Amino acid sequence: MELRHIRYFLVVAEEKSFTRAAARLGISQPPLSMQIKNLEDEIGTELFYRSAQGTELTPAGKAFLVSVQPIQERIAEAVQLAQQVANGESGQLRLGFTGTSMLNLILPKSIRLFQHQYPKIRLKLEEANSLLLMDRLLDDRLDIALVRPPDHVPEGLHLQLLMHEPLLAVLPIGHPFAQHHSIQLNALKDDSFIVSPRAISAGLFDAIANACRSHGFEPKIGQNAPQIVSIVSLVAANLGVSLVPESTKQLGITGVKYLNINDPTPMVGLALAYRKNTHSQIVINFSSLIHSLLIQQYQGYTA
């Protein structure tokens, strides 16, 4: 028994006429009659009384109709669900992000808009450092992540750079340069830099190291801190200085001073990462949405 047999049976039962049913199905009457006859032979009983006035369900046909009508509804639901998943309108998005990426307003704005546009998508959010997020993408435990791109991207991942964010020098308020509005980065060459270890936060670590090298010195690595909050807190405790993304100022931690860095201003990237072989329309939709927001933001700046 095939699905088309059930579909033909249901249409004949609704139309009460092989002629009208054939016209509705877009086929000629003889093949339709043959398909219904094959269905009856398989079941072992007649499903319709046939007459010159039309057709009528037999008692067996009525019982069969009651049983197969829910199948048609389930098939329609299955078709609709498949279409929604194919269009990225239903399913789950496992989204990873770093602590510093959440400070950038583009991420919370993207999440709010995505939930509004795709209310049937279940969002599963996970915060971790960039390297761990990229490992979880490769292990298929995440679908997409916002990361600080390191110098070397793991094979199998694709990174789409979203923006470059200025790095600011963050100093304890008692530092000799804390009263300045800006600073030459090489003025901090003798200070200890508080950083997240590269094994934890490769993107930010590489950005800090490259910035110092571009200003002519190798940073003196002091205390390690796993998160941006702890970095700034240790700076406030007068244990050293650091470089942080501009959006870190939103944390509002007291006891520190943020300074712009004079030319060249160092930058740290923010990127979308996902597997190269991904076929997820949900991932594509989220990526398109966040890029659209960035375009609108850029146009607002240049208007």
- Residues 98-126 have pLDDT tens digits of 988 888 888 899 999 999 999 999 999 99
Mean per-residue pLDDT, 132-147: 95
Q: What is the pLDDT of residue 300?
A: 59
Determine the average pLDDT of the residues in 264-293: 91
For the chain, which residues make up each domain, given as ranges?
A: 3-86, 91-302
Instruction: Return the half-sphere exposure (C-beta side, CA atoms, 13 A cut-off) of residue 183.
Output: 23
Which sign, positive or negative, has the C-alpha torsion 110, 112, 115, 118?
negative
Q: What angle do CA 151, 155, 160 make, to 5 degrees?
A: 60
Angle CA 160–165–166, to nearest 5: 150
Instruction: Quote the tokens at residue 219.
Output: 């940073």
Q: Is the pTM of this model over 0.75?
A: no
pLDDT (mean) for 61-72: 87
**Portion of the chain with pLDDT greater than 70, in percent:** 97
Write out pLDDT tens, residues 213-231: 999 999 999 999 988 999 9
Q: Could you say which of 3.30.750.24, 1.10.10.10, 1.20.1630.10, 3.40.50.720 is the CATH number of the domain covering 3-86? A: 1.10.10.10
Q: Are strands 182-183 and 192-195 parallel, antiparallel or unpaired?
A: unpaired
Q: What was the pLDDT predicted at 301?
A: 52
Which pLDDT belongs to residue 195?
A: 95
The dihedrals phi and psi of 229, each to the nearest 5 degrees, come to: -65, -45
Per the DSSP assignment, residues forming a β-bridge with 101 are none
Domain with residues 91-302, CATH architecture: 3-Layer(aba) Sandwich (3.40)
pLDDT over 60 (residue 72):
yes
pLDDT of residue 76 exceeding 60, the answer is yes
User: Does residue 140 carry a pLDDT above 60?
Assistant: yes
Give the pLDDT mean for 134-146. Answer: 95
C-alpha closest to that of 163 among 274, 284, 266, 291: 291
Helix (H) or strand (E) segment spanning residue 289: helix 281-302
What mean pLDDT comes out for the span 20-49?
91
Task: Give dist(CA 302, CA 203) in Å, integer.
Answer: 29
pLDDT, residue 189, reads 96
Q: What pLDDT score does 287 carry? A: 93
Is the per-residue pLDDT at 303 higher than 60? no
Q: Which two tokens stand for residue 182?
A: 């800006």
**Helix, coil or strand: residue 94:** strand
CA distance 111 to 125: 10
**Distance, CA of 12 to CA of 56 (rounded, Å):** 9
Mean pLDDT is lowest, of 129-143, 229-243, 284-298, for 284-298
Q: Residue 242 above 90 pLDDT? A: yes
- Determine the pLDDT at residue 145: 96
